[in-house]
């Protein structure tokens, strides 16, 4: 029968032979578990010390420690060898192929909403309009009161509003408050301005409505400005944007800040296959609200309604883009989906 010391040496020989066969990290770890781990064979061999006769103990203990040292050192160098081999293999891989085509920079572009905004601004610039920007966070006074909608005015229901935690401060629901800012900045001089910008409404999001969207407001104020000027301006604009054949139709409507108020439709080309759907069978499509500026609004802007008159209009440029490109879901604008954006 093998003596305890011989068993120790056999354990060492077996462990070293198995270690020599380990060529990757997984095998090394498994080997470690089998021999040097908490439940490994060397632990078991050390535990045997307690069962030996007193005179055998010192020699066995010394030998067990030597075997432990020997296996630990062998384990370390086996790791070294495995790492070395992995590095060599990596270095022997073929180098970079400089003849492959490089990665090209992808060129960005303007967002379609920006493009339509600029297009509309350009059309009005040709007609002598200036661009006036005003704030998106507004006071209740500018968004409603100065526009002839005092507190509790039922017309406020037309704009479902995001109020901030500061009383009287809100996200503007339309660009119309800009009319007051323009008038106050112009200080009594004649005005011909458009006011593009972002608006916010507390809407249930659907293919037709979003909680944020662009509007473009227009305002003309001066002596002798008439409804005919409004009609001519709008007609000219519609033809420049949608094509020279377009007919414009005007319907009576209601807005608190204009009197009279109108809605403006354009006829849709008879040869467009989308005509039925877009115009719900009527052939006409609404493009904006407008009207003659209400005397109270002129007063709020610091103008004397007995001396000057004005007209105003408001439109949704994203809606126009949807018409021009047969886009059927307004939510696509702010989803940042490149499949949509790259088409423009
Ligand atoms: N502010 C209106 C809205 O958001 C649009 C509008 C209608 C603006 C008539 C005007 C106007 O300036 O005259 O629904």
Contacts of 193 (CB under 8 A, 6+ apart): 129, 130, 131, 132, 182, 218, 219, 220
What CA dihedral angle connects 50, 54, 55 and 57, to 10 degrees? 20
Output DSSP code: residue 154: G
pLDDT tens digits for 219-265? 999 999 999 999 999 999 999 999 999 899 999 999 999 999 999 99
Within a domain: 9:
yes
Residue closest to 222 by CA, chosen among 302, 309, 299: 309
Contacts of 114 (CB under 8 A, 6+ apart): none
- Other CB atoms within a 10 A radius of the CB of residue 120 amount to 22
Within a domain: 99:
no
Residue 320 Cα to ligand 1 midpoint, Å, equals 15
Element (H, E) at 221: strand 212-222
Atom of ligand 1 at shortest distance to CA of 258?
13
- Which of 136, 147, 173, 174 best tests ligand 1's pocket when mutated (most atoms within 8 Å of CB)? 174
Q: Are residues 158 and 59 in the same domain?
A: no
pLDDT interval class at 270 (50, 70, 90):
confident
- Which of 178, 257, 300 best tests ligand 1's pocket when mutated (most atoms within 8 Å of CB)? 257
CB 213 within 8 Å of CB 175: no
Q: Which of 90-99, 190-199, 280-289 has the lowest mean pLDDT?
A: 90-99
Q: Are residues 243 and 285 in the same domain?
A: yes
Within a domain: 318:
yes
Cα separation, 128 vs 144, whole angstroms: 28
Q: Are residues 49 and 128 in the same domain?
A: no
- Which of 209, 210, 289 best tests ligand 1's pocket when mutated (most atoms within 8 Å of CB)? 289
Q: Are residues 325 and 181 in the same domain?
A: yes
Residue 193 Cα to ligand 1 midpoint, Å, equals 15
Cα separation, 48 vs 168, whole angstroms: 85
* SS3 labels along 302-316: CCCCCCCEEEEEEEC
Instruction: Tell which of 91, 125, 151 closes a domain.
Output: 91
Task: Check the CA dihedral 44-50-52-55 and report its sign.
Answer: positive
Residue 156 Cα to ligand 1 midpoint, Å, equals 13
Cα separation, 120 vs 248, whole angstroms: 17
Q: Which domain holds residue 307?
A: 112-341
Closest residue to atom 4 of ligand 1, CA basis: 174
> pLDDT at position 247, please?
92
Residue 336 Cα to ligand 1 midpoint, Å, equals 28
Number of domains in the chain: 2
- On the question of pLDDT at 55 being above 70, the answer is yes
Residue 99 Cα to ligand 1 midpoint, Å, equals 60
Q: Are residues 124 and 242 in the same domain?
A: yes
Atom of ligand 1 at shortest distance to CA of 315?
5
> Up-side HSE of residue 67: CA atoms within 13 Å toward CB?
26
pTM of the full structure = 0.70
Domain holding 250: CATH number?
3.30.930.10
Atom of ligand 1 at shortest distance to CA of 215?
4
Helix axis angle for 112-126 and 317-325, nearest 10°, is: 110
Residue 240 Cα to ligand 1 midpoint, Å, equals 21
Residue closest to 130 by CA, chosen among 121, 138, 120: 121
Q: Which tokens hold the place of 13?
A: 């020989």
Closest residue to atom 13 of ligand 1, CA basis: 290
Task: Give how far Cα 290 sits from Cα of 78, 167, 192, 230, 344, Å.
Answer: 84, 30, 15, 8, 30
List, chain by chain if needed, residues with CB within 6 Å of any ligand 1 atom: 174, 176, 217, 255, 258, 289-291, 312-314
pLDDT interval class at 2 (50, 70, 90):
low
């Amino acid at each position: 029968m093998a003596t305890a010391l011989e068993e120790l040496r056999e354990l060492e020989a077996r462990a070293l032979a198995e270690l020599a066969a380990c060529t990757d990290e997984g095998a090394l770890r498994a080997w470690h578990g089998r021999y040097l781990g908490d439940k490994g064979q060397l632990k078991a061999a050390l535990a045997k010390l307690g069962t030996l006769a007193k005179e055998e103990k010192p020699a066995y203990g010394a030998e067990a420690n030597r075997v432990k040292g020997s296996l630990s050192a062998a384990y370390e160098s086996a790791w070294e060898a495995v790492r070395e081999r992995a590095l060599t293999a990596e270095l022997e891989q073929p180098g970079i192929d400089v003849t492959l085509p490089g990665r090209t920079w992808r060129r960005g572009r303007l967002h379609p909403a920006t493009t339509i905004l600029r297009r509309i601004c350009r059309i009005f610039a040709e007609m002598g309009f200036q661009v006036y920007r005003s704030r998106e966070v507004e006071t209740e006074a500018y968004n409603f009161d100065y526009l002839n909608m005092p507190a509790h005015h039922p017309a406020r229901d037309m704009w479902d509003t995001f109020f901030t935690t500061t009383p009287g401060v809100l996200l503007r629901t339309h660009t119309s408050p800009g009319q007051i800012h323009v008038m106050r900045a112009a200080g009594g001089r004649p005005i011909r301005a458009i006011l593009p910008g972002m608006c916010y409404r507390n809407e249930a999001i659907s293919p037709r409505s979003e909680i944020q969207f662009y509007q473009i407001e227009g305002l003309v104020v001066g002596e002798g400005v008439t409804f005919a000027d409004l009609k001519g301006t709008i007609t000219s604009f519609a033809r420049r944007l949608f094509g020279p054949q377009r007919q414009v139709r005007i319907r009576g409507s209601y807005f608190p800040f204009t009197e009279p108020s109108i809605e403006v439709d354009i006829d849709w080309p008879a040869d467009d296959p989308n005509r039925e759907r877009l115009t719900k069978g009527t052939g006409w499509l609404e493009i904006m609200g407008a009207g003659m500026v209400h005397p109270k609004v002129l007063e709020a802007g610091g103008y004397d309604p007995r001396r000057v008159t004005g007209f105003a209009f408001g439109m949704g440029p994203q809606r126009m883009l949807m018409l021009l490109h047969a886009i059927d879901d307004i939510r696509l604008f702010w989803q940042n989906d490149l499949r949509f954006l790259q088409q423009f």
